[in-house]
Amino acid sequence: MNRAPVGPADEVRVTSAGATLRGCPWPAARRAARTAVPRPLPVERVELAAAAGRTLAEPLAALTDLPAFDTSAMDGWAVAGPGPWRLSGRVLAGQACLPLADGAAVEIATGAQLPPGATGVLRREHGVLTELPDGAAQLRGEVVPGQDVRPRGQECGRGEELLPAGLPVTPAVLGLAAAAGHDRLAVHRRPTVELLVLGDELLVAGLPGPGRVRDALGPLLPPWLAGAGAELLGSRYVRDDFGLLRDAIRHSPADLVLTTGGTAAGPVDFLHAALEATGGHPLVDGVAVRPGHPMLLAALPGGRHLVGLPGNPLAAVAGTVTLALPLLHALSGRTAPAAGPAEPLAAALPGHPVDTRLHPVRRSAAGLAPLPHDGPAMLRGLARAEALAVVPPGGLAAGECAEVLALPLS
């Protein structure tokens, strides 16, 4: 379709009607994606397993002291008062225990409840057992008060806030929630995504041939989106046809319609026209970033959104980190990281004169090492990368720090 070229020459244009940013600076594009939705998706209370990968909608409070009882940290003997001790009985993890009088000891397992009156735990390898005249066992060894005891409430007290709302529910969060007594968690509904892959030249199997390329984004995007907490409703190949694309966008039930290709001004790039025909309105139309500058974000009727990723695969990845992930995080109620961590560069990264660059990097002993094969149509550098380094206009010298954007590593 015909439209004004997008790029740094356009710079920022803010309309009173809808704050459309055209060729907008990269940091502003990320912010626009984060603030595109008025509020996160509704809150649900779900079982722990179903909460994995979602976002905490409430702070996680401890429902109990942790540990909930004085606990032996070692296998050995719980002792009361100074030694030597007369030994009797055994207490295993999960068993109730009787009080211990001064001068007495009981065999104890790691994780077992410390008997009332016990003053410490003597490790099995540090104790010496002898036989008393009456046949009972006597235990000798050095124990300072509280030794190898995990006192009740050492990690947290009942009611204490363990985690703030807005954190992703990682495996560690699930483990902590269970340890702290939770059976269900309050999390935001997962944002739904429908992926529309555009381009008649794409092959879904076999070898690329004359004029035909393998679809790299159909395989690349779904696991990344799922890892970011989204629910993928489906991936569809849409032929380069205005009407088909318009209808696919119009009828998609997803919170986020994610398209690949068709963002530029080629003869069959119908995305802008289809957007207009469906009543969509662009919020960000082109970003001052390389690769990926034709990426776009639009509001669709019904409170839905569309992110248009450029067809060049590395440009699509740039669009994912710039627009799609921040939007998904906003929908999920996920707290924005303050700014990506900054790490020193092992080598200089030349910049674009006016645009931000995103460059695949790996960590090395000398710092972030830029990877070759970083052209917009290439994935070879990205596939070895641990992160994308953010290179501001003008570039960065070796030793200077670059913000890094994490990439999924599995």
Ligand X SMILES: Nc1nc2c(c(=O)[nH]1)N[C@H]1C(S)=C(S)[C@@H](COP(=O)(O)OP(=O)(O)OC[C@H]3O[C@@H](n4cnc5c(N)ncnc54)[C@H](O)[C@@H]3O)O[C@H]1N2
Does position 261 interact with ligand MOO (CB under 6 A)? The reply is: no
* Cα-based distances in Å from 291 to 106, 280, 317: 68, 25, 9
- For residue 107, the partner it binds in ligand MOO, ligand X, none, with Cβ less than 5 to 8 A by kind, is none
Q: What is the dihedral of CA 253, 254, 260, 264, to 10 degrees?
A: 70
Q: How far apart are CA 55 and CA 162, in angstroms?
A: 15
Does position 222 interact with ligand MOO (CB under 6 A)? The reply is: no
Which one of 229, 282, 291, 333 is in contact with ligand MOO (CB under 6 A)?
291
Taking CB under 6 A as the binding criterion, the range among 95-103, 144-152, 196-204, 360-368 that sits at the site for ligand X is: 196-204
Taking CB under 6 A as the binding criterion, the range among 64-72, 110-118, 194-202, 274-282 that sits at the site for ligand X is: 194-202
- ∠56-57-60 over CA atoms, to 5°? 60
Q: CB nearer to ligand MOO: give 187 or 388.
A: 388
Does position 30 interact with ligand MOO (CB under 6 A)? The reply is: no
Q: CB nearer to ligand MOO: give 261 or 291.
A: 291
- For residue 260, the partner it binds in ligand X, ligand MOO, none, with Cβ less than 5 to 8 A by kind, is ligand X
Does position 330 interact with ligand X (CB under 6 A)? The reply is: no
Q: Answer for the pair 313, 220: CB distance below 8 angstroms, yes or no.
A: yes
Q: What is the nearest approach in angstroms of ligand MOO to the Cβ of residue 2?
A: 19
Q: What is the nearest approach in angstroms of ligand X to the Cβ of residue 249?
A: 15
Site for ligand MOO in 325-384 (CB under 6 A): 376
Does position 319 interact with ligand X (CB under 6 A)? The reply is: no
Does position 322 interact with ligand X (CB under 6 A)? The reply is: no
Q: Answer for the pair 78, 41: CB distance below 8 angstroms, yes or no.
A: no
Sign of the alpha-carbon dihedral angle for 261, 267, 272, 277: negative
For the chain, the C-alpha Rg in angstroms (whole number) is 30
Q: How far apart are CA 351 and CA 357, in angstroms?
A: 6
Inter-axis angle of helices 325-332 and 26-34, nearest 10: 30
Which one of 55, 312, 320, 332 is in contact with ligand MOO (CB under 6 A)?
312
Q: How far apart are CA 348 and CA 328, in angstroms?
A: 33
Q: What is the nearest approach in angstroms of ligand MOO to the Cβ of residue 293?
A: 5
Q: Most distant CA pair in the chain: distance in Å?
A: 103
Q: How far apart are CA 247 and CA 236, in angstroms?
A: 13
Does position 290 interact with ligand MOO (CB under 6 A)? The reply is: yes
Q: Answer for the pair 191, 332: CB distance below 8 angstroms, yes or no.
A: yes
Taking CB under 6 A as the binding criterion, the range among 126-134, 243-251, 255-263, 297-305 that sits at the site for ligand X is: 255-263
Q: What is the nearest approach in angstroms of ligand MOO to the Cβ of residue 353?
A: 14
3-state secondary structure of 351: coil
Does position 289 interact with ligand X (CB under 6 A)? The reply is: no
Q: Answer for the pair 236, 248: CB distance below 8 angstroms, yes or no.
A: yes
Beta strands in 227-352 (DSSP E): 231-238, 256-260, 281-290, 296-300, 304-309, 342-344
Beta strands in 80-228 (DSSP E): 85-91, 104-108, 120-123, 128-131, 137-140, 149-150, 161-163, 184-188, 192-198, 202-203, 213-214
Taking CB under 6 A as the binding criterion, the range among 252-260, 269-277, 307-315, 385-393 that sits at the site for ligand MOO is: 307-315
Q: What is the nearest approach in angstroms of ligand X to the Cβ of residue 255?
A: 22
Does position 269 interact with ligand X (CB under 6 A)? The reply is: yes
Site for ligand X in 342-381 (CB under 6 A): 376-377
Interface mask toward ligand X for 378-407; x: CB under 6 A = ------------------------------
Q: CB nearer to ligand X: give 76 or 291.
A: 291
Which one of 67, 280, 310, 360 is in contact with ligand MOO (CB under 6 A)?
310
> CA nearest 260: which of 309, 322, 195, 321?
309
Summarize as ranges the residues that interact with ligand MOO (CB under 6 A).
290-293, 310, 312, 315, 376
Summarize as ranges the residues that interact with ligand X (CB under 6 A).
197, 199, 201-202, 213, 215-217, 260-266, 269, 291, 293-294, 310-313, 315, 376-377
